[in-house]
Amino acid sequence: MRRMAAIVILALVPACGKTQRPVPPPTDGAGPEDVGVSWSEDVWPILIVRCQVCHTTGSGAEQVPDMLMTDPSTTYTAWFNVFAKCNPNLYRVFPGDSAMSFVFDKISQPGPLCGFRMPLLGPPLEDSEQNTIREWIDQGARRN
């Protein structure tokens, strides 16, 4: 009987000690199941179709020459953490906060804080297009 008690105690002692739970490996938040919105794959294609003509050769190019949309790299640089000329209280794109981003205000509001809703010469962006840009900004406006 004592022998059986000793065996039970020896079996339970390790279980009474400090237990360690497995810790998942650190990630950068962009694993295969959570790749987020991509500048080059999701946002830039919207801009090519809906914005680029005016902001390359049209009135947008004349009125805001530092927002030419000739290529994704130039456009990204002109947007990321740059104050809007029309409303210097807002960044064009404020990473992590679409509500503080002038570009999102211009494409999502019927009466933006300054000027007119974009695109000026076409229908407003579809809700899905607006959501893509909003999510990209809210996810940190990564250059991916």
* Domain-located, residue 26: no
Domain for residue 16, yes or no?
A: no
**Across 4-13, 38-47, 67-76, 77-86, which has the greatest mean pLDDT?**
38-47
Asked if residue 134 lies in contact with residue 104, where contact means CB atoms within 8 angstroms, the answer is yes
Q: Which residue has the tokens 């650190």?
A: 26
Bridge partners of residue 91, in order along the sequence: 83, 101
- 43 DSSP 8-state letter: I
Cα–Cα distance for residue pair 55/68, rounded to 1 Å: 5
Q: Is there a domain that residue 86 lies in?
A: yes
Decide if 21 is inside a domain: no
Q: What is the pTM of this model?
A: 0.74
Total count of residues recorded for the chain: 144
Tell me the pLDDT tens digit for each residue of 121-133: 889 999 999 999 9
In the block, tokens 């809703």 appear at 117
- Within a domain: 25: no
Query: 97, 138 in Cβ contact below 8 A?
Result: yes
CB atoms within 10 A of CB 87: 16
Which domain range does residue 48 map to? 36-138
Look at residue 48 in the predicted model and tell me its pLDDT: 94
Is-cis flag, bond preceding 25, omega within 30?
Answer: no
Q: Is residue 23 part of a domain?
A: no
Q: How many domains does the chain have?
A: 1
Judge whether 77 lies within some domain: yes
- Indicate the average pLDDT of the chain: 81
